[in-house]
A and B are shown apart, each in its own frame.
Chain A
Amino acid sequence: MTTATASLPLQMPAPFLDGLRLILGEAGLLADPDELLVYECDGFTIAKNAPDVVVFPTTTEQVAAIVKLCNQYQIPFVPRGAGTSLAGGCLPVGGGVMITLTRMRKIVEVNLRDRYAIVEPGVVNVHLTNHLKGTGYHYAPDPSSQGACTIGGNFATNSGGPHTLKYGVTVNHVLGAEMVMPDGAIVEIGGPVEDSPGYDLTGLFVGHEGTFGICTKVIVRLTRDPAAYRTMLGVFNSVQDATQTISNIIGAGIVPAALELMDQGIIEALEAAFHFGFPLDAAAVLLIEVDGLEVAVDEEARKIIDICRETGAREVRSANTAKERLLLWKCRKQAFGAIGRLSPSYCTQDGVVPRTKLPEILDFITAVGERHGLRIVNVFHAGDGNIHPILLFDERNAEQVKRVLIASDEILNKCIDLGGSVTGEHGIGVEKINFMSKLFAPHDLAVMAKVRAAFNTGQLCSPQKMLPTAGACGMEHIERKAPGRHAAM
């Protein structure tokens, strides 16, 4: 995409708009430029482009009719949920129609005996959790944005969250879906019954980032609430000791429900925001949670405490009440916002390394920070090696911003060198499209392109996302002037 073509608004033919109005009614769409501006970006605010029309379907049939109309007039379209994505996944590259699914928010069915729920894509993640409260079941994936992000968006980006270490990411909790395909056909994949024969299309479609069509229903697995939790806080005098502890815990065959690392910079910010009582002189803390049967968790907790002490923890605290546990988790989940109190701007990166390489990548991050004169702090899902270095800066300092961009790229390249990848959970979107050719060999990418082409033959459904196209595409032509100011993971 070039700057020139992108700045030209697409001409929406009048009959096309009339057709949309016929499907949705006047209240079902926005076409006034004044009202389109807020849709020009998601949580990734570097790249912006307003759609030409925003539509709010309420039924699968409406979505199918919109998609067919788009095909008839050759207008591109892209889905959007709550717009909390952090990689530009809902950026309408090249304009067109934005299919916003926030009015499709019914919980269609909850079947506790068979342990599934059927929800519309606009259901907010935490609303499902709240709906299930008291039943003894929950929906396990809990991204830190769960208070706002939608299940449809989780499906499209294969979202993770702190509890993915033990419970797995979204793909492990989706049994099936209803999709409106890029040509407007309504298709059902998977289903509430486990192990359906044929290709595992559900597994393929989770994480499609909108490139296989528009998801209109998701069948999710429900997970039994653990009978008991033990939540601990290990306090360390060095980051090295803390990362070594992570390896040792997993090495001992224990899979905690969550295992999160926060370094000194984050501790300082959190203490300012929530006054939990974190030791300000600690180099790192580990937030460790085990869950399961009452009889088992104490045993596991004791083992973890021993391991922490062996690797040099100066102190291991336990959350004694449910309130203390909730406050600890609030600290973790709102860590990024707390950083906003210390620095006018910040950029969060999302990379993955094998767990055993955590000490190495953290050393590297420290060195990068020193080399570029930047302050970098860390809070991340340590258990699965998913790092989130946060680079602090002031967006009004152009020279500093440039250094942030270079430092970010160096860190992500190092993740690849260490055998990891450039996104753990935020997705590729438009932000990381340039890294795809570094991550994958041309043949690998060609297979992915073929898979996409099998479902998405034209150029209309979520164009220029996820896979680089030959020649010009995605971010190559956008001069990056500012790093993203990401808030939540």
Chain B
Amino acid sequence: MTSNTTDVTHPAAGPPPVGSEIDYEKFLSCVHCGLCTAACPTYLETGDENNSPRGRIYLMRSVVDGRQQLSPKVASHLDLCLDCRACETACPSGVQYGRLIEPFRASQRQAAAKAGKPANTDWFHRFILYGLFPFASRMRWALAPMKLLQQLGLDRLLDSLGLTRLLPERLQRMQRLLPRLVPGGPALPEFLPAIGPKRARVALFTGCVADAVFRHTHWASARVLQHNGCDVIIPREQACCGAIHYHSGADRPALDLARTNASVFDAAEVDAVIVNVAGCGAMLKDYGHIAHELEPQNRHLHERLNRFAGKMKDISEFLGQLGIIPPTGKIPLRAVYQDACHLNHAQKIREQPRDLLAQIPGLEVIPIAEADICCGAAGS
């Protein structure tokens, strides 16, 4: 029986264990109380502590400590993490779980690349994840045939004939997850003026996949901002937030995108940069930390990205602070609100969207159980 919690026995030879470059203090901040467990969707589902935040921190730490290898079994438990960050909301000690698992995954992929088994250079990563998704215009072209198929109802026909099964497994899954594509309208102009007395000057982050699939939401966001007295700037040169890259271990391209966005939005000279996608928002607000993690010596970059991150506001957060002009149009519906993990847990924005909905005349929002538990999509 070991009786010391701090045994650190690094293997004498060979490369340092995966995750060694992570600030060890971050592991120590977990006091192993277990209060996070019931907040974790994968633990709730499996009841296995290897699939809990406390367990995963223990596994990562044991790999860093050299107590055990990063075996396929250990890796599978880490892979299963949905990155919903519900554990951070539950943790009384302020453990930054996301800042443990994300760099650990990056380290894992770098180690694999060094060992000649790079995980993110296959066709899917190169052409789809990094070559297509981060570019709204390419996405729109790529989705055009799907949109046509959906409109003609042919996608269901192809499905029922089993023809979609000819696609590679990953594309099949993506096809199944694809939402109904609705006309998004034309591209947003670079400037939309405030309606009524001017209260603020903001920029709108439109992103990549969102601009291709949910452009109508961007239009709606811009309209609400305009009606609340905001000049809205939509810089053309803005880029993908980089979350796709960062979460799959391609951290350098992520940092390049961060640089691009910071300079584009800095030039716009706005009071706030508005984002309406939870995952993008969480990433954009984390730019400062990512710079610090990847280029610890570059203080200038760190400060610049931190400043940019400080301007990022989720639309509900921004409107809550600004105080909205209550809408007058009635929506006589009963509805429920399911928290987006990266809004609720990563950005700690919980009440603001509910407060906004409460101001819509006629709309009745009913509380539901487990509104704060991940839907399982893990941002896909």
Contact = CB atoms under 8 A, between A and B. Distances in A.
A314 B4 CA distance: 45
5 shortest interchain CB distances as A-B pairs = A337-B92, A487-B33, A102-B47, A340-B93, A334-B92
Interface in A372-410: 395-396
Contacts of B90: 147-148
B6 interface: yes
A83 B34 contact: yes
Contacts of B325: none
A148 B34 contact: yes
Contacts of B67: 37
A126 B67 CA distance: 35
A38 B73 contact: no
B47 A341 contact: no
B311 to A, nearest CB: 23
B121 interface: no
Given A84-B33, A147-B35, A485-B31, A34 B92 contact: no
Nearest to B74: A34
20 contacts: A30-B48, A46-B3, A82-B34, A83-B37, A83-B49, A102-B43, A130-B369, A147-B90, A148-B38, A148-B90, A337-B91, A340-B31, A340-B94, A346-B31, A395-B28, A396-B6, A478-B3, A480-B3, A485-B5, A487-B31
Interface in A441-489: 478-482, 485-488
Given A83-B34, A124-B38, A479-B3, A337 B94 contact: yes
A482 B28 contact: no
B5 A126 contact: no
A481 B47 contact: no
B136 interface: no
B68 A34 contact: yes
A48 interface: yes
A349 interface: no
Interface in A278-307: none
Given A34-B74, A341-B94, A487 B32 contact: yes
B34 A48 contact: no
A5 B28 CA distance: 30
Interface of A: 1, 3, 6-7, 30, 32-35, 37-39, 41-43, 45-49, 56, 82-84, 100, 102-103, 105, 122, 124, 126-127, 130-131, 145, 147-149, 273, 333-334, 336-338, 340-341, 344-346, 395-396, 478-482, 485-488
A38 B58 contact: yes
Given A45-B5, A100-B47, A34 B58 contact: no
A127 B43 CA distance: 14
Interface of B: 1-6, 25, 28-29, 31-39, 43, 47-50, 52, 54-55, 58-59, 62, 67-69, 71, 73-74, 77, 90-94, 369
Best-surrounded residue of B1, B3, B28, B54 (most CB of chain A within 10 A): B1
A42 B34 contact: yes
Given A34-B74, A486-B31, A126 B38 contact: yes
Contacts of B34: 42-43, 82-84, 145, 148-149
Contacts of A487: 31-33, 35, 92-93
A6 B52 CA distance: 27
Contacts of B5: 45-46, 395, 482, 485
A165 B307 CA distance: 49
A-side binding surface: helix, strand, loop or mixed?
A: loop
Given A38-B55, A340-B29, A479-B3, A488 B35 contact: yes
A340 B68 contact: no
A148 B37 contact: yes
A341 to B, nearest CB: 6
B-side binding surface: helix, strand, loop or mixed?
A: loop
B133 to A, nearest CB: 34
Best-surrounded residue of A38, A273, A482 (most CB of chain B within 10 A): A38
B38 A34 contact: no
Contacts of A126: 38
A82 B32 contact: no
Given A7-B1, A340-B92, A30 B50 contact: yes
B93 A337 contact: yes
A159 to B, nearest CB: 14
Nearest to A126: B38
Best-surrounded residue of A35, A39, A41, A488 (most CB of chain B within 10 A): A35
Nearest to A42: B34
Best-surrounded residue of A30, A39, A337, A395 (most CB of chain B within 10 A): A337
A333 B67 CA distance: 34
Contacts of A37: 58-59, 62, 67-68
Contacts of B69: 34
Nearest to A56: B47
A3 B73 contact: no
B59 to A, nearest CB: 7
Nearest to B54: A38
Contacts of A481: 3-4
A48 B48 contact: no
Contact of B1 (A3, A34, A105, A344): A3
Contacts of A42: 34
A122 B47 contact: yes
A7 B5 CA distance: 16
B341 to A, nearest CB: 17
A127 B47 contact: no
B35 A45 contact: no
A38 B52 CA distance: 10
B180 to A, nearest CB: 33
Contacts of A39: 49
B93 to A, nearest CB: 4
B92 A488 contact: yes
Contact of B93 (A46, A341, A396): A341
A34 B31 CA distance: 21
Contacts of B35: 84, 145, 147-148, 337, 487-488
Contacts of A100: 47, 49
Given A35-B73, A337-B94, A487-B93, A82 B2 contact: no
Given A34-B74, A478-B1, 13 more contacts: A47-B3, A48-B2, A84-B34, A100-B49, A102-B49, A122-B47, A148-B35, A337-B35, A340-B93, A344-B28, A345-B28, A480-B3, A485-B31
Contacts of B92: 333-334, 336-338, 340, 487-488
A418 B43 CA distance: 43
Given A126-B38, A147-B38, A338-B92, A41 B32 contact: yes
Nearest to A85: B34
B71 A34 contact: yes
Contacts of B29: 340
B6 A395 contact: yes
A105 B47 contact: yes
A127 B44 CA distance: 11
B358 to A, nearest CB: 15
B93 A482 contact: no
A82 B3 contact: no
Contacts of A82: 34, 37-38
Contacts of B74: 34-35
Contact of B32 (A6, A45, A273, A344): A45
B367 to A, nearest CB: 9
Contact of A148 (B31, B36, B369): B36
Contacts of A105: 47
B36 to A, nearest CB: 7
A131 B67 CA distance: 41
Contacts of B33: 43, 84, 145, 336-337, 486-488
A428 to B, nearest CB: 18
Contacts of B36: 148
Nearest to B93: A340
